[in-house]
Amino acid sequence: MRIVVDANIFVSALLRDSVTRKLLMHPDFEFYTVDFVRMEFEAHLAEFSKRSGLSKEELLLLINGLLRNVRIIDKSEFEPHLEKARGLIDDIDDVPYLALALFLGSTAVIWSHDKDLMRQKSVKILSTLDLIGKLGVD
């Protein structure tokens, strides 16, 4: 299963040692994300440090660990799908994730809790609970 991970899932994994973090490191899933996600992490590093109680150095190590199991796809690869994605959802911040899933094909899903993404019908959206159910992870 090809799973596109949105930024909020990563933020959840950064802020707490949780099932989300365990799922992101699970070898049975094929994770993908957009190329600018690392820049987003680094732009908000001070905020994440304060919220998580981890030092910036610890967070950088954690980010690298989380991304080790994730294929980062350059925007140029999924760019042809951006226009279609813009027509399917209202939130411009979610368009790249939807475009990436469209690029990856019919077996791709998006791991998200975003209500705007859930309203579109072109790509299946899975919640953390859905993924837990697929593996029986606790």
- Token digits for 76? 């140029």
In eight-state DSSP terms, residue 91 is: -
Q: Which CATH class is domain 2-135?
A: alpha beta
Q: What is the pLDDT of residues 11-33, one digit of tens each?
A: 999 999 999 999 998 888 899 99
Q: Is the pLDDT assigned to residue 36 strictly greater than 70? A: yes
Domain residue limits, the chain:
2-135
* pLDDT tens-digit series, residues 38-73: 888 889 999 999 999 999 999 999 999 999 999 999
- Please report, for residues 30, 53, 92, 135, the alpha-carbon distance to residue 2 in angstroms, rounded to integers and kept in the order given: 5, 32, 22, 15
- Report whether 7 contacts 111 (CB < 8 A): no
Helix, strand, coil distribution of the chain in percent, nearest 5: 60, 15, 25
Whether 85 shows a pLDDT value over 70: the answer reads: yes
Cα separations in angstroms, 50 against 7, 57, 59, 97: 18, 13, 11, 27
Tokens of 105: 């094909």
Percent of the chain residues topping a pLDDT of 90: 79
